[in-house]
Amino acid sequence: MTAQKQTDEFYMRRCLALAEKALGKVSPNPMVGCVIVRDGTIVAEGFHTAYGNLHAEAEALKSCGDVSGATMYVNLEPCAHEGKRQTTPCSPKVVASNISRLVVGAEDPIASHAGGIAAARAAGIEVKVGVLRDECVRLNSGFYNYASTSSPYVIAKVASSVDGRIALASGESKWVTNESSRRHARKLRQWADVLITGAGTVVADNPRLTSRLGDAKDPTVAIVDSALITPSDAALFDATREVIVFTVDDANPHKQRTLEERGAEVLRMGAGRVDLQKMIAELGRRKMTCAMLEAGHLCGQFLSKKLAHELHLYIAPKVLGPNGVGWSADGSLDASLTLKESCHFSGDVLHKYWVNGTAAWRDNT
């Protein structure tokens, strides 16, 4: 019996769902899912499970028999380069499989890796490109951004009251938003290679900065700390993870040693204030493609310096009053924001904004 025929978008959505299973496990490579369909039935699927493992197309092809005449869906153009493994690139495998149709979500932005679309066409395979392109690019925003900038895609997260306060006058900010919002925000930590925070936030909240979801790895923590006030017994040191403290050129060497004894790497980057541009460039040099900023105080600076690509603003139905701490105080906010999505979590609201002028590659999608 032949199954009901579905649209190309339907199968591309399945690719995206498969790809996302590897959230936090493949960076700096992209999340990729692949589905092979014949007569309306999915006959094989696969995804790139972890950095260094088989690509999605090879995963799908390895588990199925004859797929000649079938349609392959994949959210990223099949690669045509000799990669890090001994295995051959995907596009000859795709051609050899004798599929008759290839549906690609988005082109590979790395010219030396791309080539799968042209190779398939040259082999007489019907190729359709651009199905759910926006979603496909957005899933791998870190990968696409890195391909053209060599620096991380930065999402600034702010949790505030309806009157824009992130903390009480005392500095205390635990907990403005509810448990369900905070669980959602932890998923973004899983996406991130690096969590950027400020020493003030570490002192005030003593956050663990873990993702605490399943077997997710805990991201690197980068602390902006001009005066080296990060306590050496901060809870974030308890997790097995890399900690980098960015400080100023004339920082106190004794305090530096204390933090180094806790396993932190201390980098001097800037006179008077930490040079945030240089910090981002350094994270990029370390092949970090996805960064999350969790420090209300730094958020204004990141937006005004155009270092953040997205702002995720969680708003709790609370009023903290005029003495509370605002999140945009530091930095002149001439950044223009475009609302892309809103949702809510048990009474809290999340608005996701794009910061305009920070991602030329995205504006084309």
Between 90 and 192, CB nearer to ligand AOF = 90
Closest contact distance (angstroms) between CB of 320 and ligand AOF is 44
User: Where do we find the tokens 């053209």?
Assistant: 148
Residue 268 C-beta-side C-alpha neighbours within 13 Å: 10
Considering only residues 14, 48, 55, 189, which one is a binding residue for Zn ion as defined by CB under 5 A?
Answer: 55
Q: Does 48 bind Zn ion (CB under 5 A)?
A: no
Q: Give the footprint of ligand AOF on this chain (CB under 6 A).
A: 26, 29-30, 32, 48, 55-57, 76, 79, 83-84, 90, 108, 110, 113
Q: Does 79 bind Zn ion (CB under 5 A)?
A: yes
Residue 264 is encoded by which pair of tokens? Answer: 């932190």
> Are the CB atoms for 83 and 115 separated by under 8 Å?
no
Between 85 and 183, CB nearer to ligand AOF = 85
Closest contact distance (angstroms) between CB of 359 and Zn ion is 25
Sheet holding 220-224, edge to edge: 265-268, 243-247, 220-224, 194-198, 290-293, 153-161, 310-316, 348-355, 337-345
Closest contact distance (angstroms) between CB of 49 and Zn ion is 13
Which of Zn ion, ligand AOF, none does residue 108 bind to, with CB < 5 to 8 Å depending on kind? ligand AOF
CA trace torsion 248, 253, 257, 258 (10° rounding): -80
Query: Could you give the residue numbers annotated as active site?
Result: 57
Closest contact distance (angstroms) between CB of 29 and ligand AOF is 3
> What length is written for the chain?
365
Which of ligand AOF, Zn ion, none does residue 243 bind to, with CB < 5 to 8 Å depending on kind? none
Q: Does 320 bind Zn ion (CB under 5 A)?
A: no
Between 116 and 200, CB nearer to ligand AOF = 116
Q: In what helix (H) or strand (E) does residue 151 lie, and over which residues does it extend? A: none
Q: Does 74 bind Zn ion (CB under 5 A)?
A: no
> Are the CB atoms for 51 and 243 separated by under 8 Å?
no
Give the integer Cα–Cα distance in Å for 200 and 348: 25
Task: Give me the residues that bind Zn ion (CB under 5 A), please.
Answer: 55, 79, 90
